[in-house]
Amino acid sequence: MTGFKCLAVPGPTNMPFEVRQAMDVALEDHRAPDFPDFTIPLLNDVKKIFRTETGHAIIFPGSGTGGWESAIANTLNAGDKVLTSSFGQFSWLWVDMCSRFGLDVHNVEVEWGRGVPLGAYREALEKDTNHEIKAVLVCHNETATGVTSSVKAVRELLDDLKHPALLFVDGVSSVGSLEFRMDDWGVDVAVSGSQKGFMLPTGLAIVGVSQKAMEQKKQATLPVCFFDFGDMIKMNAQGYFPYTPPVTLLRGLRASVDMLLDEGLDNVAHRHNRLAEGVRRAVTAWGLNNCAQEAQWHSDTVTAIKMNEGQDANAVIQTAYHDYKVSLGAGLSVLNGKVFRIGHLGWLNETMVLQALGGVELAMRKVGVAFEAGSGVGAAIDFYTETAASNKMAAE
Ligand SMILES: Cc1ncc(COP(=O)(O)O)c(C=O)c1O
């Protein structure tokens, strides 16, 4: 089949040509005398993406999962109590990792489609007068259900109760796309990866670490080696790494960070919000439902679309892929067959979103889902037309 594949999964995302070109370079000496001229400004600029001035930006070879592990292994002791919540595949996997590390996990199970349970968190923290809870985990954007939770609200809760627990945030599908304010929200470890908002291939765990987390690290006894924050910070200060860094990906990261900062992080967030709203209008026009149960949780980076009773989401995904070259995200775990996901993050514009929506319509028509052809695409076009001025303003 001729033509481009349409990559509409929530990561990996589309890679900008600038990023690809930046990585089309000969391999380099990572111990060269001038290597720090490249790495020190890069690490400083990655801090800007996390919006931290006081924290560190740390880049490990790895993926988001490695970032999760780094948060736990650097700051906690076996048996430490952690407050967590699971409301989708990724929030659940991080909780599972906490158990595998021998932590005492106090997990609040939440219906998939809802966000971080602020009430239950308050209750657990209020009861914890001896401050046994050492860390509170938040999945900022649950990619499996398209749910964004308020990190700020969790910070306010901790502050209100004067609770000293560390705040760990999974920002894998939010950092570099949605509003993310590490310092303002008092995030102690913010975890991201290269293949979503950073618009790169998979291969980097990109982590923001606060001074408070580094203080806590002094008392931490879980084994940590490859993901040691201390080793990394020490070597990074001179512009080097404790082991061979993935320099080619770092070259790509330089280009992607430049693109994000040139666009401006507020504009990036605005663009994602506008593109996402077009998708949401399409979902409503098709007569389908957003898996995120309330507007407060609607994610601007991914929409999980719930099919109606008797409709098979996997048939839509398979047909979109095989017949129309459109990759949609599958429903994970209990949502398999029930939802398909459209990723709308990274290097993306209106027409790319419309391509994905058009592909969904073609696939739904082919598998016999009843809807009016063009209704979703039309609703998105109407919205993008109505809001074209706001987009232009944001870009200026
Ligand atoms: C919210 C979230 N957290 C963590 C992960 C795991 O990241 P990785 O697959 O890069 O290890 C993902 C992956 O999609 C994710 O979406």
3-state secondary structure of 81: strand
Per-residue pLDDT reduced to its tens digit, 91-126: 999 999 999 999 999 999 999 999 999 999 999 999
Residue 389, pLDDT above cutoff 90: no
In short, whether 173's Cβ falls inside 6 Å of ligand 1 is yes
Q: Would you list the domain boundaries of the chain?
A: 6-12+263-395, 18-246
Provide the pLDDT for residue 394.
Answer: 62
pLDDT in the model for residue 15:
98
Domain boundaries 6-12+263-395, CATH class:
alpha beta
Q: Which candidate, 82, 144, 102, places its Cα nearest to that of 303?
A: 144
Are 106 and 135 in contact by the 8 Å Cβ rule? The answer is no
How are beta strands 166-170 and 133-139 bridged, if at all? Answer: parallel
Residue 48 banded pLDDT, cuts 50, 70, 90: very high
How far the first Cα of the chain sits from its last, in Å, is 39
pLDDT tens for each residue of 219-260: 999 999 999 999 999 999 999 999 999 999 999 999 999 999
The response to whether residue 193 sits with its C-beta less than 6 Å from ligand 1 reads: yes
Q: How many CB atoms lie within 10 A of CB 127?
A: 11
Q: Retrieve residue 324's tokens.
A: 């129309």
Rounded (10°) CA dihedral 373, 6, 180, 62: 150
Q: What ligand 1 atom has the least distance to the C-alpha of 67?
A: 11
Distances (CA, A) of 50 to 53, 207, 222, 271: 9, 9, 26, 18
pLDDT, average across residues 19-34: 98
Assess whether the region 6-12+263-395 and the region 18-246 belong to the same CATH fold: no
Whether ligand 1 lies within 6 angstroms of the CB of 311 is answered as no
Computed over every residue of the chain, the mean pLDDT equals 97
65 lines ligand 1 (CB under 6 A): yes
Cβ burial of 30 (10 Å; 0-12, 13-18, 19+) is: middle
b/e for 271-296, b at 16 or more Cβ within 10 A? bbbbbbbbbbbbbebbebbbbbbeee
In this model, does residue 391 exceed pLDDT 80? no
Distance from the alpha carbon of residue 393 to the mean position of ligand 1, in angstroms: 32
CATH code of 18-246, in short, is 3.40.640.10
Q: What is the per-residue pLDDT across 179-209, written as a single tens digit (0 to 9) for each?
A: 999 999 999 999 999 999 999 999 999 999 9
Is residue 170 lining ligand 1, measured as CB closer than 6 Å?
yes
174: exposed, middle or buried (Cβ count in 10 Å: 0-12, 13-18, 19+): buried
pLDDT single digits (tens) 373-383: 999 999 999 99
Q: Read off the pLDDT of residues 271-330 as tens digits, 9 standing for 90 and up.
A: 999 999 999 999 999 999 999 999 999 999 999 999 999 999 999 999 999 999 999 999
Other beta carbons within 10 angstroms of residue 262's beta carbon come to 9
Q: What is the rounded CA–CA span in Å between residue 47 and residue 233?
A: 13
Q: How confident is the model at residue 392 (pLDDT cuts 50, 70, 90)?
A: low
Q: Which residues of 340-357 are buried (b: 16+ CB within 10 A; e: fewer)?
A: bbbbbbbbbebebbbbbb
> Do the beta carbons of residue 206 and residue 81 sit within 8 Å?
no
pLDDT at 1 over 80: no
State residue 390's pLDDT score.
79
Q: Is the CB of 198 under 6 A from ligand 1?
A: no
Residue 395 has pLDDT above 60, yes or no: no
Q: What pLDDT is attached to residue 312? A: 97
CA distance 5 to 226: 36
Those residues whose C-beta lies under 8 Å from the C-beta of residue 11, and which sit 6 or more positions away, are 143, 172, 173, 193, 195, 196, 343, 345, 346
Percent of the chain at pLDDT exceeding 70: 99
Testing ligand 1's pocket by substitution, the residue of 173, 178, 302 carrying the most ligand atoms inside 8 A of its CB is: 173
- Nearest atom, ligand 1, residue 140 CA: 1
Q: How confident is the model at residue 393 (pLDDT cuts 50, 70, 90)?
A: low
Q: What is the pLDDT of residue 375?
A: 98
Mean pLDDT over residues 23-48, rounded?
98
Distance CA 119, CA 173 (A): 24
Exposed e or buried b per residue across 157-166, where buried means at least 16 C-beta atoms within 10 angstroms of its C-beta: bbeebebebb
Q: Is the minimum distance from the CB of 94 to ligand 1 under 6 angstroms?
A: no
Closest CA to 149 of 343, 297, 291: 297
Q: What is the 8-class DSSP label of residue 298?
A: B
For the CA of 65, the nearest atom of ligand 1? 11
Which percentage of the chain shows pLDDT scores above 90? 97
Taking alpha carbons only, the member of 24, 60, 34 closest to residue 244 is: 60
Q: What is the mean pLDDT of residues 31-43?
A: 98
The token pair at 132 is 């046994």
Is the pLDDT at 349 greater than 80, yes or no?
yes
Query: Measured in angstroms, how far is the CA atom of residue 64 from the centroid of ligand 1?
Result: 5
Of 62, 68, 12, residue with least CA distance to 195: 12
Do 85 and 116 form a contact (C-beta atoms < 8 A)?
yes
Which helix or strand (DSSP H or E) is residue 167 part of?
A: strand 166-170
